[in-house]
Chain A
Amino acid sequence: MNGLRRLFLAPAAVILVLLYGIPLAIVAAYSVLRRGAYGGVDAALTPYNFARLADALYLTILARSFLLAAAATLLCLLLAFPLAWFISKAGPRKHLYLSLVVLPFWTSMLICMYSWMFLLRDTGLVNTILLSLGWISEPLPLLYNYGAVLVGLVYNYLPFMVLPIFAALERLDPNLLEASADLGAKPWTTLRRVVLPLCAPGVRAGAVLVFVPSLGDYLTPDLLGGGRTIMIGNLIQNQFTASRDYPFGAAVSLALMSVVMLLLWQLLKHDKDPLL
């Protein structure tokens, strides 16, 4: 590597080491230390923090987090694929639709979540309309449950699924679709045997971009889930706030990170397929 390239790399490298590498090392160090009597840590090594993860209570939270994140990913995929297809066929209006997809990013996520609370609560817009139409006699319990969390996750991360799938569809040679029809494949077969395989890298990228932040999200389950410890993000947050158990919080963070890294590696190693 020559000097100039090093120079270009330097700013990002410095920021990553200072703001990511060092804190991560501190987290790793905390995870194997004993909890201090008044918060903080004592200088004594222990495997106890990791052993605690095997507790049924925490395993349940972990499993629930994975299920919610997986469900959010699947729902995003089902919503994003037709949407991305529609946008990629929209001709000159493509850019308008794309900017609409990323429009929610222009607002704080916190404000978006509060808006959802206003929509879903007992006296919210949805229940008010349904009540005034006489379709229901009591407000539906729309907020503070897993369903509300799922809605929030899908809402937050949908654009991350739409954009890579859209990019993959844009790269797709339209002649391939015509060739498929020409060779006798009905539209559904073309979708299954040509479009989906060729868009797989985009779908994988989208799945990672939705699943990983969903898994670690704490704001959405905290606000829409009703303040209970629903997902692993809330568990970690609690350790650093209410419980003041930094070592356990660090251990949970590291465990989550390892699992995510493992999944990513499994998923992305396929991208070396002999494509194009």
Chain B
Amino acid sequence: MSESLLVRAGARAAAHSLGTERSLTVAPLNSISRSFGACCPLAPALILLPVDPILEFRDVCKSFGPHRVLDGINLSIPRGSFFALLGPSGCGKTTTLRLTAGFETPCSGEIYLQGKSVEGRRPYERKVSTVFQNFALFPHLTVWQNVEFGLRHQGVADRDRRIREVLELVQLRGKEKHYPSRISGGEKQRAALARSLVLEPDVLLLDEPLSSLDPGLRKQVRNDIKALQRRVGIAFLMVTHDQEEALSLADQIAVMHEGRVQQIGTPREIYLKPQTRFVANFLGSVNWMNGVGVRPEATRISRGTTDAGERSAPATVAHSIFLGGVVQVHARLAGGETVVATIPRQEDSYQPGESVLVSWHPSEEITFPDHSV
């Protein structure tokens, strides 16, 4: 397995450089990854061939009774990419995942896996695999038996070797004979990942992968998952409500709200060029000033001096919040709006009541086309 996974890892690196070209991906995967294996930055012209995505949603709707959960979802997940569905609870992101796995059926619209409609295919007939939020490891089976579970239903010859390799990959060697109740949260998650990855699914589905873990563990596991995804080259579709998780893990993010996709793009696009007010606010704080938004870290505070080309407004410091490395200065504009500036600790010398100048560079402004303001 490791060889096939590594070959895909090469293709994955190539696909990553495609950025926002959602309708395009790499083909043929294997030959390209071999010929460009460890070489210089790829020339996009060489590899941008129109190829179908691994997973596609076309106008998918889903209602539970009178409640419309998904209202015309269109998504296209490129091969080998790490794709995040980001949104608040109730936005339909988990339903999207469950539709992919086959636990729910769409009311209308089509889902295509490897270019083929999955309509009518039961969960056990789909080559996708889910890592559940609570991991859903079988408590009566050991780690080894859990990983073996899915392979038993396939006529796999070298079952033992594949289980050993995948356990090696997620660093669970030595825990084979342990029951899920006897291993830590992080190990449970890796066991769940191994159980899915050993089947080499077309798409791996992750439902809030970090939410069941201790906060102290999350950053480490986040890095591990990212590294694992790059290594195996399988497309990961992750559901999360945590924007930091989505920004740090995903190649592409679809922000969802009230059953609709608000925006699809790379983490930078979503954060820096949000297309709707909802996306702007959900990805982080925004200072809204006369319809123009500026993120707190792009907002400067000064005592009357601005750089060339900057825009500014006079304000009065209300209070400061010390956050360790940075300080949040809350200031009030003449019009009454509160503006928050996140500044380095060393630059904080502002006292409540002090008159200051709030400034920002026009390129940092968040604006929307007329129709979405």
Contact = CB atoms under 8 A, between A and B. Distances in A.
Contacts of A275: 139-140
A184 B128 CA distance: 10
Interface stretch (B5-13, B71-79, B147-155, B271-279): B147-155
Contacts of B140: 197-198, 273, 275
B181 interface: yes
Given A182-B123, A185-B124, A276 B139 contact: yes
A182 B203 CA distance: 12
Contacts of B101: 178, 182
Contact of B153 (A178, A179, A184, A197): A184
Contact of A182 (B124, B137, B138, B154): B124
Nearest to B179: A274
Contact of B136 (A175, A185, A193, A273): A175
Interface string B72-106: 00000000000000000000000000000111000
Nearest to A190: B124
Contacts of A185: 124, 149-150, 153
B103 A178 contact: yes
A198 B180 CA distance: 14
Contacts of B136: 173, 175-176, 178-179
Nearest to A178: B103
Contact of B139 (A180, A182, A198): A198
Given A176-B136, A178-B103, A197-B140, A274 B153 contact: no
Given A183-B153, A198-B139, A274 B134 contact: no
Interface residues of A, number: 21
Interface in B89-137: 101-103, 122-124, 128-130, 132, 134, 136-137
Nearest to A184: B153
Given A179-B130, A274-B179, A274-B181, A184 B138 contact: no
B129 to A, nearest CB: 6
Interface string A185-224: 1100100011001100000000000000000000000000
Given A178-B103, A178-B123, A178-B132, A183 B139 contact: no
Contacts of B122: 181
Contacts of B149: 180, 183, 185, 193
Given A181-B122, A182-B101, A275-B139, A173 B134 contact: yes
A169 B99 CA distance: 25
B199 interface: yes
Which of A178, A186, A197 has the most chain B CB within a 10 Å cutoff?
A: A178
A57 to B, nearest CB: 45
B330 interface: no
B142 to A, nearest CB: 9
Contact of B138 (A178, A179, A273): A179
A194 to B, nearest CB: 6
Contacts of B123: 178, 181-182
Contacts of B130: 178-179, 182
A186 B102 CA distance: 13
A181 B136 CA distance: 12
Contact of A184 (B134, B150, B179): B150
Contacts of A184: 124, 150, 153-154, 199
Interface string A242-276: 00000000000000000000000000000001111
A133 to B, nearest CB: 43
A176 B149 CA distance: 12
A183 B136 CA distance: 12
B195 interface: yes
B146 to A, nearest CB: 9
Which of A176, A180, A184, A193 has the most chain B CB within a 10 Å cutoff?
A: A184
A173 B128 CA distance: 21
A214 B154 CA distance: 44
Contacts of B199: 183-184
Contacts of A179: 130, 132, 136-138
B132 A183 contact: no
A152 B102 CA distance: 45
Contacts of B138: 176, 179-180, 194, 198
13 contacts: A175-B132, A176-B138, A179-B137, A181-B122, A182-B124, A182-B128, A182-B129, A182-B130, A183-B129, A183-B150, A198-B138, A275-B139, A275-B140
- Closest A-B pairs by Cβ, 8 of them: A183-B150, A175-B136, A181-B123, A179-B136, A184-B153, A197-B140, A274-B179, A181-B124
Interface of B: 101-103, 122-124, 128-130, 132, 134, 136-140, 149-150, 153-154, 179, 181-182, 195-196, 199
Interface of A: 173, 175-176, 178-186, 189, 193-194, 197-198, 273-276
Given A179-B138, A181-B102, A184-B153, 14 more contacts: A175-B134, A176-B136, A178-B123, A178-B130, A178-B136, A182-B123, A182-B124, A182-B130, A184-B199, A189-B153, A194-B138, A197-B140, A274-B181, A275-B140
